[in-house]
Chain A
Amino acid sequence: MIELDDVAYSYGGAELFAQVSLSLAPGSFHFLTGPSGAGKTTLLKLCYGELQAIAGDVRLFGAPARTLTRDQIALVRRKVGVVHQDCQFLDHLSVIENIALPLTVSGQDVDLANLQDLISWVGLGSQAEQLPPQLSGGERQRAALARAIIMSPDVIIADEPTGNVDWEMSQRLLTLLIELNRMGKAVLIATHDLNLIRAAKSQVGTRVLRLTDRRLQQAGADL
Chain B
Amino acid sequence: MRALFRQFLWRFIGGAQADRSVPPTGFTAQLTVFAAAAMAFLAVFALALSLATSRLADRWSEELARTSTLRISAPADQADAQVRAAIGVLETTPGVASARALTAQEQQALLTPWFGPDLPLETLSIPKLIEIIEEGSGYDATGLRARLQAEVPGAVLDDHTSWRAPLVKAAGRLRSLAWVSIVLIAATTAAMVTLAAQAALAANAQVIRVMRLVGAQDSYIAWAFIRRFTSRAFAGALMGSLAGMLGVFFLPSTDVAGGFLTGIGFQGVHWLWPLAIPPLAACVAFFATRAAALRRLKEQS
The judgment on whether A and B are partners is yes
Residues of A at the B interface (CB closer than 8 Å) are 50, 70-71, 74-75, 77-78, 82, 84, 88-90, 92-93, 97, 101-102, 104-107, 147, 151
The A-contacting residues of B in range 204-263, CB under 8 angstroms, are 207, 209-220
Residues of chain A contacted by B219 (CB below 8 angstroms) = 71
List chain A residues, Cβ under 8 A from B211.
90, 101, 105
- Measured CB to CB, the nearest residue on chain B to A150 is B214
Pair A75/B215 contact, Cβ less than 8 Å: yes
Contacts of A97 in B (CB 8 A): 20
Task: Give the interface of B toward A (CB within 8 A).
Answer: 17-18, 20-21, 23-24, 207, 209-220, 297, 301
CB distance from B19 to the nearest CB of A (A): 11
* Given A50-B213, A77-B215, A101-B210; 5 other pairs, CB 8 A cutoff: A74-B217, A90-B207, A97-B20, A101-B214, A105-B18
A151 contacts across to B, CB distance below 8 A: 215
Min CB gap A140→B, angstroms? 13
Query: Closest approach, in angstroms, between the C-beta of A215 and any C-beta of chain B?
Result: 28
Please indicate the chain B residues that have their CB under 8 angstroms from the CB of A101 in the complex: 21, 210-211, 214
The answer on a CB contact under 8 Å between A104 and B213 is no
The chain B residue sitting closest to A89, CB to CB, is B210
- A-B interface contact total, Cβ < 8 Å: 59
Contact of B215 among A88, A89, A93, A106 (CB under 8 A): A106
The reply to whether B21 and A104 form a contact with Cβ atoms under 8 Å apart is yes
Q: Which 7 pairs show the lowest CB-CB distances between chains A and B?
A: A105-B216, A78-B215, A77-B215, A92-B23, A102-B214, A74-B217, A71-B217
- Chain B residues contacting A82 (CB-CB under 8 Å) are 213
Minimum C-beta distance from B212 to chain A (A): 7
Assess whether B20 is in contact with A74, with CB atoms less than 8 Å apart.
no
The binding surface of chain B is classed by DSSP as helix
Most chain A CB within a 10 A radius of its CB, from B211, B216, B297: B216
In the assembled complex, which residues on chain B have CB atoms less than 8 Å from the CB atom of A71? 217-219
B213–A84 touching, CB < 8 Å: yes
Bound complex: CA A106 to CA B18 (Å): 10
For B217, what are the chain A residues with a Cβ–Cβ distance below 8 Å?
Answer: 70-71, 74-75, 105
Contact assessment for A104 and B18 in the assembled complex, using a CB-CB cutoff below 8 Å: yes
Chain A residues lying within 8 Å of B17, measured Cβ to Cβ, are: 104
Interchain CA distance A105-B207 in the complex, whole Å: 12
Chain A min CB distance to B236 (Å): 24
List the B residue with the shortest CB-CB distance to A76.
B215
Q: Is the CB of A93 within 8 A of B21?
A: yes
CA distance A84 to B209 in the complex (A): 13
Please, which residues of chain B bring their CB within 8 A of the CB of A74?
212, 215-218
Does A105 contact B20, Cβ atoms closer than 8 Å? Answer: no
Minimal Cβ-Cβ distance residue in A for B209 = A88
Residues of A within 8 A of B210 (CB): 88-90, 101
Q: Is the CB of B215 within 8 A of A105?
A: yes
A residues in contact with B20, CB < 8 Å: 93, 97
Closest-by-CB residue of B relative to A80 is B215
State the Cβ distance, A90 to closest chain B Cβ, in Å.
6
Determine if B23 and A105 form an interchain contact, defined as CB atoms under 8 angstroms apart.
no
Smallest Cβ-Cβ distance to A75: which chain B residue: B215
B24 nearest in chain A by CB position: A92
> Roughly how many angstroms separate A101 CA and B210 CA in the complex, as a whole number?
10
Which of B21, B24, B218, B297 is in CB contact (< 8 Å) with A90?
B21
Measured between beta carbons, the chain B residues less than 8 angstroms from A102 are 214-215
Q: Which residue of A lies closest to B298 (CB)?
A: A70
Name B207's closest neighbour in chain A (CB-CB).
A90
Which residues of the partner chain A approach B220 to less than 8 Å between Cβ atoms? Answer: 105, 107
